[in-house]
Structures are given as C-alpha cells and as structure tokens.
Structure 1
Amino acid sequence: MPNLYVKAVPPADLNRNTEWFMYPGVWTTYILFLFFSWLLVLSIFGSSPGMAWTIVNLAHFLVLAYSSTYIMSLTEVFRPVSLMLFSKELPFSGYGLMCSLFCLIVSEPTMRDLSIFQVTYHFFHWKKGTPFADDQGIYNGLTWWEQIDNGKQLTRNRKFLTVVPVVL
C-alpha cells in the first residue's frame, strides 16, 4: 500500500526570535559592522588603532537607555572621553584606560538620565521570552542564549558568539 502522507522536515529553527541568526551572511554582516564602526571611530576621533578598538569594544558592550526628558547620544558621552584621551597628559594602560573611561562616563552630570547596561548580558542572559505572541509562551522561561539553535550546546553559532567578544 502506498504511503498517503508526506513527511515534512521542520525547519532548523521555528523560533522567530532567533531564526534571523541562521540566515546566510549574518556573521559577515556582524563582523563588517564592527570593522566599519572601528573605521568610523578611527576617523572621527583621529586616535590610534588600538584606542579605536577600545572605544568600539566599549560601545559594543554598552547600550544607552534614555528617559523621556533627555536623550544622550554616543557623541555626547564620548566627547569628554576623546578630550581626555588625546590630551597627551595621562598615560594609560589597557585596564586602567577602561576603568578611566567608565569612571568618566559615570561622572557625567547627566547621569541621572542615563542608564548603562551590558547589552550582551541583558539581552542574551537576562531577558526571557520572545516579543512574539504566536509561539504560545513556549519560550517564556528561556533567555535568547538558551533559545538559539533550539538549545543545543557547542553549535557553530554559539561558538561564533563566544569567540567574537573574546577577540574584540
């Protein structure tokens, strides 16, 4: 007797919150975005390549949340940083430079309107669920990191997302 039913193979990821990361070219776009951010910082601040990577690294891991009364852009945050870094008065090591950048950003007088969060920690490891209602809540208890690749460990996507920040 012939088989009357067609066996359908489900797609690799049905979760709309994470399926975009499966598309071809996402890794390349991510790396190009980081590279062009570095070129932009290098050309705007006129800094050394190492200093530009430091600023891109800090901007990569920080997100600026704004209140309804005041919006602070990245240029307003990094203007005093760039003035301090290129004054040639204060030599910094790598770790000391990052601490000094953070202290300078925190000491801004408009800090009451500015909240700084780590993007990767907040969105990958803290915020749970999806912004879509059609999944009927099956991902409500999972973070984005737990949702990618259907929860499988040591996949190419997870390795990529681990290696890029380490290299950066």
Structure 2
Amino acid sequence: MIKLGTEGIIPHKIEPNMNKSVVWTGDKFFWCLYVFIIFGFRIFLGMLGISDPGTAWTITTVVHSFVTFFAFHWIKGTPFQFDQGRYEKLTFWEQIDDQVQNTWTRKFLLIIPIVLLLISSHYTKENFRFYFLNVVCSSFVIIGKFPLMHKVRILRINK
C-alpha cells in the first residue's frame, strides 16, 4: 500500500512484530479462497457420486473440522527461523493477529465452522447419527477458537 504524505509518496511499512507465517490470514483473497475450497470440496464429493446432501455435507464438515483442528489448534511454532523462537509455544490460531482476540480475521475463521454446522445440520435433520457427528466434530474446532481457550492445553495434551 502506498500512502501520500507531506514528504511525497511513502511506502507503507509492515509492523515489525507481525508474524509473517500468519499475516496472510487477514487478506480478503484468502477468505474468498477458503470458502471456495470448502464449496469446491463439496462439489467434488458430488462428482464422486455422493448424491445425498446430508452425507456430502457431513463429510465436508468432518473433513474441515479435522483439517482445521490439526492445522490451527495442534501444530505449534512457525516454519521460519526469523522469529528466534518467539512463536514456538503458540499454535497457528494463537499467532493470528499477534494474539489479539475478536479481530475480523478470527471472527471470520470462527463463523466458517458454525455455518458448516448449520448447513450440515439442515440436511441431516432426520439422521441423528450424522447430526451428532457434525456437532461433535464442529464443537472441537469452535470451542478451540474461543478467547477463554487461548493458550489452554486441556489435560496437558499438546503441551
């Protein structure tokens, strides 16, 4: 981004404490791509022959829950060495927005599993097993995103 100041054109500086491995999550292009991947996976399941919407949305919700739980709430640290170990004890979710809670990025990433749960619940209203599976898998991801779970390791798992 370029800002026009009194001295002329000055390039916008990136904050020095911004974690380069998670700063891209606030980009609107990432948000669109994220939603596109989810719906693309759902369409892919339809192309595989899974024509029942309840089954397809349940598979989509469960796969999304497992992938995001592992990627956002399990893996700790960064793949880069530029941070001198500053983020090695933090999960990906805890690193987003420099640990500031209730930002637009965090709200967006919280809304996605809730919307998936609502969609899959709508299509599985007559199948209690699928409904229960959707609720259980989604609850791990949704509860893990609450501010009160920041830096909390239940039963010292993933300490």
Provide TM-score, normalisation by structure 2.
Answer: 0.59
Counting aligned pairs with the same residue, the percent is 41
Q: Which amino acid in the other structure matches residue 14 of structure 1? A: M
1:163 is the counterpart of 2:111: yes
Change (3 A) 1:36 1:13: farther
1:135 is the counterpart of 2:83: yes
For 1:6-155, what aligned pairs fall within 5 Å after superposition?
A: 9-11=13-15, 14-61=18-65, 118-155=66-103
Q: Which amino acid in the other structure matches residue 163 of structure 1? A: I
Q: Distance in 1 between matches of 2:17 and 2:55?
A: 39
Q: Distance in 2 between matches of 1:143 and 1:151?
A: 10
Q: Distance in 2 between matches of 1:127 and 1:166?
A: 22
Counterpart contact for 1:129–1:140, Cα < 8 Å: yes
1:25-72, CA deviations, whole angstroms, 9 ceiling, x for partnerless residues?
1111111111111111112124122221112112223xxxxxxxxxxx
Counterpart contact for 1:13–1:149, Cα < 8 Å: no
For this pair of structures, how many residues does the alignment match? Answer: 106
Counterpart contact for 1:13–1:19, Cα < 8 Å: no
Deviation, structure 1 residue 13: 6.5
Q: Which amino acid in the other structure matches residue 150 of structure 1? A: D
What stretches of structure 2 of length at least 5 have no aligned partner? 1-9, 117-159
Q: Distance in 2 between matches of 1:163 and 1:12?
A: 29
Q: Which has the higher helix share?
A: 2
Deviation, structure 1 residue 9: 4.6
CA RMSD of aligned residues (A): 2.2
Provide TM-score, normalisation by structure 1.
Answer: 0.56
